[in-house]
A and B are shown apart, each in its own frame.
Chain A
Amino acid sequence: DIQLTQSPSSLSASVGDRVTIACRASESVTNELNWYQQKGGEAPKLLIVDATTLKTGVPPRFSGSGSGTEFSLTISSLHPEDFATYFCQHGYSMPWTFGHGTKVEIK
C-alpha cells in the first residue's frame, strides 16, 4: 500500500497567515493526489483534485502543488472558517489511502 505522511501534524496560526501543509507519498502517485478539509466530527469535504485543481466552490485562497511523491496544500490567508483538519489522499491505485491529517488551530 502507498503510505502518505503529512507534516506537520498540527500547527497554530492566526487569521490572515499563510499556511502550507506537506504530504509525502511512499512511491510516486504522479499527480493523483487529493486534499480534504474536516471540521470536528463532520464529514470530510473535498477541496482539491489532481494535486492542483480546486473543486467548484472552494475559495481561491486554497491551492495545491506537487507531483510524484511531494505535495503541498497552501492557504494564502487564513479565514476563521479554515481552522480544521486537512487530509491528503492518493487516487493512484487501490487501496486508496489517506494521510494522518494536519490540524490547523488558532494561535
Chain B
Amino acid sequence: QVQLVQSEAELKKPGASVRISCKTSGYNFKDNALHWVRQAPGQRLEWLGWVNAGDGDTSYSYKFRARVTISGDTPTTTAYMELRRLTSEDTAVYFCARGPRIPFFGSYHFDYWGQGTLITVSS
C-alpha cells in the first residue's frame, strides 16, 4: 500500500533553515508529483510547492518561492523540503502529499499524505 513517512519534529531558532524528509513506498516513485502543504495553528492548509519525481521539475507558490527548495531522490524514493530564513510564522505542521504527475488535466488533488512534521520556530 502507498505510504508516505515523514521525518521527526524540529525546533529551530528564527533565521535558521530546516530540511525535512518524506520517505515514500508502495508505488512507482517516478509516476507522481510530491507536494508540501503546511497547517499553522488555527489556519487553513497552505500549499508550498511540488516536485515531479520523474523528471525533477519543480514549482513553488510565489509566497514561498524565495525561501523554499523541494527535491526528490529517486534511489531512496524520498522527497525533501528545505525552508530558509525561518520566522515564528513558519511554526506549523508540514505535510508531504502525493499528487498526479504534472502537467495534469482535471481537478488536481492530493491522494495520499504523510503523517505530518511539526516545525517549531522559537528563540
Interface residues of A, Cβ cutoff 8 Å to B: 31-34, 36, 41-46, 49-51, 55, 87, 89-92, 94-101
Contact = CB atoms under 8 A, between A and B. Distances in A.
B107 A32 contact: yes
Interface string B106-122: 11111111111000000
Q: Which of B93, B95, B109 has the most CB of A within 10 A?
A: B109
Contacts of A45: 113
B109 A100 contact: no
Given A43-B116, A45-B113, A91-B109, 7 more contacts: A43-B97, A43-B115, A46-B112, A97-B46, A98-B44, A100-B44, A101-B44
Interface size class of B (residues with CB under 8 A): 20 to 34
B114 to A, nearest CB: 6
A99 B46 CA distance: 10
A70 B71 CA distance: 36
Contact of A98 (B45, B62, B63, B108): B45
A46 B110 contact: yes
Contacts of A90: 107
B61 interface: yes
Interface of B: 43-47, 59, 61-63, 93, 95, 97, 106-116
A89 B99 CA distance: 13
Query: Which 8 residue pairs across A and B have the least CB separation, nearest first?
Result: A43-B113, A91-B107, A91-B108, A32-B107, A98-B45, A100-B44, A34-B109, A95-B61
B107 A42 contact: no
Nearest to A49: B109
Contact of A32 (B43, B59, B97, B108): B108
23 contacts: A32-B106, A32-B108, A34-B107, A34-B109, A36-B110, A42-B116, A46-B110, A46-B111, A46-B112, A50-B107, A51-B107, A87-B44, A91-B106, A92-B107, A94-B61, A95-B47, A96-B108, A97-B44, A97-B46, A97-B47, A98-B44, A100-B43, A101-B44
